[in-house]
Amino acid sequence: MKITEIVLVTENWKGTEKNALMTAEDYFRYLDLDTFDSRKDVADAILELGRTLGEEEAWSEYYFAANRTVFARLCMDEKQLEQFLRGFYNSRDQEVLFDKGMCSGECLDKLSEFCMDTKGMVRIGGFSYEKQEAVFEQGQILRNLNGSDYRVLEKLSEKNLLLMDTKTGNFVVALGTEQFVRHPRGTEATKENSLTGIEWGHGLYYGSTPSAIDFRHIRQEYGTERKIEDIHQYREMLQDRFRLYSRMEKDGLISDRLREEIMYASYKEFGTNDSEYFRKGLNEGLYDKGFKEMKEIAKRKSR
Q: Side-chain half-sphere of 182: how many Cα atoms within 13 Å?
A: 21
- Residue 299 pLDDT grade (very low, low, confident, very high; cuts 50, 70, 90): low
CB environment 29-66: b (16+ within 10 A), e (fewer): ebbeeeeeeeeeeeeebeebbeebeeeeeebbeeeeee
- Residue 267 pLDDT grade (very low, low, confident, very high; cuts 50, 70, 90): confident
Percent of the chain with pLDDT over 90: 29
Q: How far apart are CA 190 and CA 182, in angstroms?
A: 10
Asked whether the predicted pLDDT for residue 92 surpasses 90, the reply is no
Q: Global pTM?
A: 0.61
Listed in sequence order, the residues at least 6 apart from 51 whose beta carbon sits closer than 8 Å to its beta carbon are 58, 60
The average pLDDT across 16-39 equals: 89
> What beta strand segments (E) does the chain contain?
7-13, 16-22, 60-65, 68-74, 127-132, 141-143, 149-155, 161-165, 171-175, 178-184, 195-199, 202-205
Q: How far apart are CA 27 and CA 54, in angstroms?
A: 19
Listed in sequence order, the residues at least 6 apart from 83 whose beta carbon sits closer than 8 Å to its beta carbon are 89, 120
**Are the beta carbons of 122 and 132 closer than 8 angstroms?**
no
Burial of 239 (0-12, 13-18, 19+ CB in 10 A): middle
Pairing mode, strands 171-175 and 202-205: antiparallel
pLDDT, position 199: 93
> What beta strand segments (E) does 87-148 contain?
127-132, 141-143
- Residue 297 pLDDT grade (very low, low, confident, very high; cuts 50, 70, 90): low
Spatial strand order of the sheet with 195-199 comes to 127-132, 178-184, 195-199
Q: Minimal CA–CA distance to 169: which of 265, 87, 276, 52?
A: 265
Name the CA radius of gyration of the chain, rounded. Answer: 25
pLDDT in tens, 44-76: 888 889 899 877 789 999 887 778 899 999 998
Cα angle value 136/211/252 (rounded, 5°): 55
State the CB neighbour count (10 A cutoff) for residue 93.
6
The average pLDDT across 77-104 equals: 90
135 vs 194, more confident: 135
